[in-house]
Amino acid sequence: MKVKKYIVDSMPDALQKIRTELGKDAVIINTKEIRVGGFLGMFTKKKVEVVAATDSNPESAATARPAIAAARPATAAASSSLAGLSAPIMSPAPVAATRPATSVRPEPRPSFEAAAAATSPAPYAPAPAAPSGAKEDALLQEMKQMKEMMLRLAQAQTGTGAATAVEEALPPAFDAIRSRLVEQDVLSELAAKLVEDSILRLEEEGRPASELSAVEAGAAVKSAIVELLTKRPIEQIRQDARIVHFVGPTGVGKTTTIAKLAAEQTLKFRKSIGLITSDTYRIAAIEQLRTYASILNVPLEVVFSALDLQKALDRMQDRDMILMDTAGRNFRNEMAVSELQSLLRIEERKDTFLVLSLSMKYSDMKAVTDNFFRFGVEKVLFTKADETATLGSIVNLLHDFPLSLSYVTHGQNVPDDIHIADARNMADELVGEPHEE
């Protein structure tokens, strides 16, 4: 590791020196304002002290680049198997009219007491006596109450005995689907709930689950998954938004995703676009976005503070839309959170996307999402679908948080490898194609 300190007049001067002396892979470790010179504390000059570091072995970085380039054909091949998860957003053919999504009020997150009550065994209360004309309806309602009670009891129990009892109680076709969902990394409790809800709905319609084929069972569970994924409408970038923020942890592909969406807004919607980045911790990230900006012939501004951001926005007053990249930081760090919050505190029309990688563990994905809720994030964008064979984390996240699906990316190609999320295709991939025994 090679570390070097620079004392310069401004950050652009520092960036130029760092690029020249340490290379594009250098990382800025610390920056602060200092005063130098003068006499008896007077006539001092304000300078910026910047500490940067880079790998002392340049050969490792040089050999890494060909390896990455060689891996891209394999990535493109893998992405073809998952291309059906979404509908392409850029096509020369006219876009067919789609059925308008019904706006659904997001359900509030349950309190601790409500969650405890939901998992506690509830005493069974039979349905009240009904007139003779409604006896059949009352009987169905009573059966539904019994099934719900059994499900709550099973979820409240611990140990393999209770789990085995639930699995044995499921018809074989539905049990196979439950197992498939767990293999797709859907949380086991959620997988059981999706299957049980499907069975209850079918029996309310007078269709006993035990009499259904595997294909019919699969269709019922797929419908339950689609309903969960579309509880809030799937949304793109709002066309009336002027500033669009992209936030998320490091390494999820925010910069490449912004380039893809900038190309979409420029070529498809004919908008004049501006790019802003506050990711000054990675020199390579700035250069990557600068390259995309040059190709698209759009302006790029680099900002270091909220004050710089306002000046950059003033210089881009003629732009229809501004896409803003933010630094991927450790969002368990309160200082990093406060820095980002100052950059997102803008009064103009805005849209904010949380960017998450499908290659992340769900426990990490959930922790990141929980931290970003304070910024009013409403939309989630998933990247790297080509790097995983499971999609369960999408279902888990939308069950745990009131977020709207937006886009899914499945490769590095700009602008091709990004699509609007398709709930039906995701459900098909999660459940698979059931086959008759």
More confident residue, 306 or 346: 306
Residue 157 pLDDT exceeds 90: no
Do 43 and 186 belong together in one domain? no
Do 217 and 241 belong together in one domain? no
Do 316 and 225 belong together in one domain? no
135 found inside a domain? no
346 found inside a domain? yes
Single pTM value for the model: 0.62
State residue 65's pLDDT score. 43
Do 153 and 280 belong together in one domain? no
Q: 218-250 pLDDT, tens per residue?
A: 999 999 999 999 999 999 999 889 999 898 888
Q: Are 419 and 89 in contact (CB under 8 A)?
A: yes
Q: 165-181 pLDDT, tens per residue?
A: 344 478 889 999 999 99
Q: 267-314 pLDDT, tens per residue?
A: 889 999 999 988 766 666 678 888 888 888 999 998 887 778 888 888
One-letter identity of residue 70: A
Structure tokens at 288: 């990557």
Structure tokens at 65: 């680049």
Confidence band (pLDDT; 50, 70, 90) for 203?
Answer: confident
Residue 386 pLDDT exceeds 80: yes
Query: How many domains does the structure of the chain reveal?
Result: 3
Burial of 75 (0-12, 13-18, 19+ CB in 10 A): middle
Residue 96 pLDDT exceeds 60: no
Residue 27: how many other CB atoms lie within 10 Å: 17
Calculate the average pLDDT of the chain.
Answer: 76
Residue 189 pLDDT exceeds 70: yes
Cis peptide bond N-terminal to 415, omega within 30: yes
Residue 105 pLDDT exceeds 50: no
87 found inside a domain? yes
State residue 25's pLDDT score. 77
Q: Given 3-state DSSP classes, what are the helix, strand and coil percentages for the chain, each rounded to the nearest 5?
A: 50, 15, 35
Do 191 and 241 belong together in one domain? no
Lowest mean pLDDT among 69-73, 189-193, 415-419: 69-73
110 found inside a domain? no
Q: Are 358 and 391 in contact (CB under 8 A)?
A: yes
Q: Which domain holds residue 318?
A: 72-91+233-431
State residue 56's pLDDT score. 62
Confidence band (pLDDT; 50, 70, 90) for 215?
Answer: very high
Write down the residue that tokens 């294909």 correspond to.
215
Q: Which of 3-12, 122-131, 247-256, 397-406 has the highest mean pLDDT?
A: 397-406
Once rounded to an integer, what is the mean pLDDT over residues 11-40?
79
| DSSP for 22-63, written as a single string | H-TT-EEEEEEEEEE--BTTBS-EEEEEEEEEE-S-HHHHHH
436 found inside a domain? no
State residue 142's pLDDT score. 67
User: How far is C-alpha 391 from the chain's CA centre?
Assistant: 12
Q: Kindly give the interhelix angle for 423-431 and 172-183, rounded to the nearest 10 degrees.
A: 110
Residue 133 pLDDT exceeds 60: no
Write down the residue that tokens 């699906």 correspond to.
405
What 3-state class would DSSP assign to 354? Answer: strand
State residue 234's pLDDT score. 95
